[in-house]
Structure 1
Amino acid sequence: MTCNASQRGDALLPYLAALRVARLVFIDDMLTAEDRFQLSSELNEPRVFLLTLCRLACASSAREATALDCNELLKNSHEFSTIFHCARDSPMNPSAKCTFFA
Protein backbone atom coordinates (compact mmCIF):
# COMPACT_ATOMS: atom_id res chain seq x y z
CA MET A 1 0.00 0.00 0.00
CA THR A 2 1.39 3.35 -1.01
CA CYS A 3 -0.04 6.57 0.39
CA ASN A 4 0.85 10.20 -0.10
CA ALA A 5 3.13 11.63 2.55
CA SER A 6 1.22 13.74 5.03
CA GLN A 7 1.75 15.32 8.40
CA ARG A 8 -0.03 12.34 9.97
CA GLY A 9 2.06 9.69 8.21
CA ASP A 10 0.95 6.14 9.00
CA ALA A 11 -1.61 7.38 11.54
CA LEU A 12 -4.34 7.24 8.88
CA LEU A 13 -3.75 3.59 7.97
CA PRO A 14 -6.07 2.08 10.62
CA TYR A 15 -8.78 4.54 9.61
CA LEU A 16 -8.37 3.61 5.94
CA ALA A 17 -8.98 -0.03 6.79
CA ALA A 18 -11.96 0.83 9.01
CA LEU A 19 -13.48 3.05 6.32
CA ARG A 20 -13.11 0.30 3.75
CA VAL A 21 -14.91 -2.24 5.96
CA ALA A 22 -17.67 0.23 6.88
CA ARG A 23 -18.11 1.19 3.23
CA LEU A 24 -18.35 -2.46 2.10
CA VAL A 25 -21.01 -3.18 4.74
CA PHE A 26 -22.88 -0.02 3.74
CA ILE A 27 -22.81 -0.95 0.04
CA ASP A 28 -23.98 -4.50 0.80
CA ASP A 29 -26.87 -3.09 2.83
CA MET A 30 -27.77 -0.61 0.07
CA LEU A 31 -27.88 -3.41 -2.49
CA THR A 32 -30.11 -5.67 -0.39
CA ALA A 33 -32.38 -3.19 1.43
CA GLU A 34 -35.95 -2.92 0.22
CA ASP A 35 -36.38 0.66 1.42
CA ARG A 36 -34.32 3.57 0.14
CA PHE A 37 -33.30 6.45 2.37
CA GLN A 38 -33.04 9.81 0.65
CA LEU A 39 -33.63 13.05 2.55
CA SER A 40 -33.55 15.20 -0.57
CA SER A 41 -32.17 15.24 -4.10
CA GLU A 42 -28.84 16.40 -2.63
CA LEU A 43 -28.75 14.04 0.38
CA ASN A 44 -28.80 10.48 -0.91
CA GLU A 45 -27.54 7.44 1.02
CA PRO A 46 -23.88 7.61 -0.05
CA ARG A 47 -23.64 11.31 0.85
CA VAL A 48 -25.35 10.81 4.21
CA PHE A 49 -22.97 7.92 4.97
CA LEU A 50 -19.89 10.09 4.35
CA LEU A 51 -21.32 13.14 6.14
CA THR A 52 -22.15 10.98 9.16
CA LEU A 53 -18.65 9.53 9.15
CA CYS A 54 -17.15 13.02 9.23
CA ARG A 55 -19.59 14.24 11.87
CA LEU A 56 -18.60 11.37 14.15
CA ALA A 57 -14.92 12.04 13.50
CA CYS A 58 -15.26 15.75 14.23
CA ALA A 59 -17.18 15.08 17.42
CA SER A 60 -14.24 13.08 18.80
CA SER A 61 -11.52 15.53 17.66
CA ALA A 62 -11.60 17.68 20.77
CA ARG A 63 -11.08 14.68 23.03
CA GLU A 64 -8.40 12.76 21.17
CA ALA A 65 -5.12 14.00 19.75
CA THR A 66 -5.15 11.10 17.28
CA ALA A 67 -8.73 11.67 16.12
CA LEU A 68 -9.51 11.04 12.49
CA ASP A 69 -8.94 13.92 10.08
CA CYS A 70 -11.89 13.40 7.77
CA ASN A 71 -10.49 15.52 4.94
CA GLU A 72 -7.18 13.63 4.92
CA LEU A 73 -9.01 10.32 4.81
CA LEU A 74 -11.71 11.11 2.27
CA LYS A 75 -9.59 13.03 -0.21
CA ASN A 76 -8.00 9.66 -1.00
CA SER A 77 -11.36 8.04 -1.72
CA HIS A 78 -12.42 7.71 -5.36
CA GLU A 79 -15.99 7.27 -4.15
CA PHE A 80 -15.94 10.59 -2.26
CA SER A 81 -14.83 12.60 -5.28
CA THR A 82 -17.45 10.87 -7.44
CA ILE A 83 -20.30 11.24 -4.94
CA PHE A 84 -19.59 14.93 -4.31
CA HIS A 85 -18.46 15.77 -7.88
CA CYS A 86 -15.04 17.12 -6.81
CA ALA A 87 -13.00 18.55 -9.68
CA ARG A 88 -9.81 16.66 -10.54
CA ASP A 89 -6.73 18.05 -8.78
CA SER A 90 -8.90 19.98 -6.32
CA PRO A 91 -8.05 19.77 -2.59
CA MET A 92 -10.56 16.92 -2.09
CA ASN A 93 -9.67 15.08 -5.31
CA PRO A 94 -5.88 15.02 -5.78
CA SER A 95 -4.60 13.16 -8.82
CA ALA A 96 -2.28 11.03 -6.65
CA LYS A 97 -4.34 9.05 -4.16
CA CYS A 98 -3.57 6.35 -1.63
CA THR A 99 -3.75 3.04 -3.55
CA PHE A 100 -5.71 1.42 -0.70
CA PHE A 101 -8.87 2.69 -2.43
CA ALA A 102 -7.86 1.56 -5.95
Structure 2
Amino acid sequence: MADSIPPLEEIGREVRAIIAGALKRPLEQVPLTARLENGLGIDSLAMIEINIALEERFRFAMPDMTSPAEANLNTVEDLARFVAQQLSQQKGKVAV
Protein backbone atom coordinates (compact mmCIF):
# COMPACT_ATOMS: atom_id res chain seq x y z
CA MET A 1 0.00 0.00 0.00
CA ALA A 2 1.71 3.14 -1.20
CA ASP A 3 -0.77 5.34 0.62
CA SER A 4 -0.35 3.70 4.01
CA ILE A 5 0.90 5.71 6.95
CA PRO A 6 4.43 4.82 8.04
CA PRO A 7 4.71 3.25 11.51
CA LEU A 8 5.37 5.60 14.42
CA GLU A 9 8.90 4.20 14.77
CA GLU A 10 9.72 5.21 11.19
CA ILE A 11 8.11 8.63 11.62
CA GLY A 12 10.15 9.07 14.81
CA ARG A 13 13.37 8.30 12.90
CA GLU A 14 12.47 10.81 10.19
CA VAL A 15 11.54 13.51 12.73
CA ARG A 16 14.80 12.91 14.63
CA ALA A 17 16.77 13.18 11.37
CA ILE A 18 15.03 16.45 10.45
CA ILE A 19 15.70 17.94 13.89
CA ALA A 20 19.31 16.75 13.83
CA GLY A 21 19.77 18.38 10.42
CA ALA A 22 18.20 21.66 11.53
CA LEU A 23 20.39 21.76 14.63
CA LYS A 24 23.47 20.47 12.76
CA ARG A 25 23.94 17.68 15.29
CA PRO A 26 24.51 13.94 14.98
CA LEU A 27 21.33 11.86 15.08
CA GLU A 28 22.51 10.21 18.31
CA GLN A 29 22.18 13.59 20.06
CA VAL A 30 18.45 13.75 19.24
CA PRO A 31 16.74 10.91 21.16
CA LEU A 32 12.95 10.59 21.18
CA THR A 33 12.95 11.53 24.86
CA ALA A 34 14.80 14.83 24.33
CA ARG A 35 12.88 17.96 25.27
CA LEU A 36 12.53 20.25 22.26
CA GLU A 37 13.10 23.65 23.86
CA ASN A 38 14.85 23.02 27.17
CA GLY A 39 16.78 19.93 26.10
CA LEU A 40 17.69 20.57 22.46
CA GLY A 41 17.42 24.35 22.61
CA ILE A 42 15.09 24.68 19.63
CA ASP A 43 14.31 28.36 19.15
CA SER A 44 11.67 29.95 16.92
CA LEU A 45 13.98 30.07 13.88
CA ALA A 46 14.91 26.39 14.23
CA MET A 47 11.23 25.54 14.73
CA ILE A 48 10.35 27.23 11.44
CA GLU A 49 13.10 25.28 9.66
CA ILE A 50 11.88 22.03 11.24
CA ASN A 51 8.25 22.78 10.32
CA ILE A 52 9.18 23.42 6.68
CA ALA A 53 11.23 20.22 6.54
CA LEU A 54 8.37 18.21 8.08
CA GLU A 55 5.88 19.70 5.60
CA GLU A 56 8.15 18.84 2.66
CA ARG A 57 8.88 15.33 3.90
CA PHE A 58 5.37 14.32 4.98
CA ARG A 59 3.36 16.56 2.62
CA PHE A 60 0.96 18.20 5.05
CA ALA A 61 0.67 21.70 6.47
CA MET A 62 2.09 22.18 9.95
CA PRO A 63 0.24 24.69 12.11
CA ASP A 64 1.97 28.02 12.60
CA MET A 65 3.76 27.96 15.92
CA THR A 66 6.57 30.06 17.23
CA SER A 67 7.53 27.47 19.82
CA PRO A 68 6.97 23.75 20.33
CA ALA A 69 5.31 24.45 23.71
CA GLU A 70 2.68 26.55 21.92
CA ALA A 71 1.47 23.37 20.22
CA ASN A 72 1.84 21.38 23.45
CA LEU A 73 4.82 19.50 22.01
CA ASN A 74 7.47 18.96 24.65
CA THR A 75 9.61 16.10 23.37
CA VAL A 76 10.81 14.72 20.04
CA GLU A 77 8.37 11.83 20.57
CA ASP A 78 5.49 14.31 21.03
CA LEU A 79 6.40 15.84 17.68
CA ALA A 80 6.59 12.39 16.03
CA ARG A 81 3.15 11.49 17.42
CA PHE A 82 1.81 14.84 16.21
CA VAL A 83 3.11 14.10 12.69
CA ALA A 84 1.55 10.61 12.81
CA GLN A 85 -1.77 12.14 13.91
CA GLN A 86 -1.67 14.70 11.08
CA LEU A 87 -0.92 11.96 8.53
CA SER A 88 -3.73 9.85 9.93
CA GLN A 89 -6.22 12.73 9.69
CA GLN A 90 -5.01 13.53 6.19
CA LYS A 91 -5.71 9.94 5.13
CA GLY A 92 -9.10 9.97 6.87
CA LYS A 93 -8.12 7.25 9.30
CA VAL A 94 -8.34 7.04 13.07
CA ALA A 95 -5.55 8.96 14.84
CA VAL A 96 -2.67 6.91 16.27
TM over 0.5, shorter chain: no
Greater Rg by CA: 1
